[in-house]
Amino acid sequence: MSDIILNTPLDKKQLQSLKIGDKVMLSGIIYTARDAAHKRLVALLEKGEELPFALSGSVIYYAGPSPTPPGKVIGSVGPTTSGRMDDYTPVLQEAGLAATIGKGKRNQAVIDSCVANKAVYFAALGGAAALMAQCVKEAEVIAWPELGAEAVRRLRVENMPLIVINDTTGDDLYVKAIKVV
């Protein structure tokens, strides 16, 4: 089976064709955000204020890059544990967030939100932060630079390798994989 090529912004109908275990090569604009940034994003939504980027069709990568070495676009940028963002994810998906990228299991509320909002959760290669950085062609801090590594960054990526962990039907690759083993 060949890799599925996806380009941002993501289309909800396109996401509905994805199934757990699918290998995806993602290109386009994505955003980094971790715990502190998620808290601020949800607070802005609750106040009805404008976000630093449009959520509709967007992808958030749970990552905090290391310092950028001279001559590079970004430092190592591996996925962080997704469960830390579980309290915020359904709110962001309801506002249009199409996909998240991280590592580790999501809670049932996030899985249910993926179904209700036709969103997906991708896993990135944990432990391969330098490899993931090679997919980043441009990087720019667009919000909350005082958060350092947790600032929101706009990344342009090419062929970022991902695996569908939670699809729009509520399937969970981690649960299915455990049943197989």
pLDDT in tens, 23-58: 999 999 999 999 999 999 999 999 999 999 999 999
- Show the tokens assigned to 102: 């991280």
E strand or H helix that includes residue 130: helix 129-133
The rounded Cα 173 to chain-centroid distance in angstroms is: 16
What sign does the CA torsion over 68, 72, 74, 78 have?
A: negative
Instruction: Please list the active-site residues.
Output: 38
CA–CA dist 85, 27 (Å, integer) = 23
Q: pLDDT grade, residue 1 (50/70/90)?
A: low
- Please state, in angstroms and as integers, the Cα–Cα distance from residue 22 to each residue in 56, 128, 167, following that order: 23, 19, 10
The Cα 73–Cα 57 span in angstroms is 24
* pTM of model > 0.85: yes
Where along the chain do its domains lie? 32-180
Average pLDDT over the chain reads 94
Give the CATH number of domain 32-180: 3.20.130.10
Whole-angstrom distance, CA of residue 19 vs CA of residue 92: 22
* Res. 162: pLDDT tops 70: yes
Of the pLDDT bands very low, low, confident and very high (cuts 50, 70, 90), residue 181 is: very low
pLDDT in tens, 98-135: 999 999 999 999 999 999 999 999 999 877 788 899 99
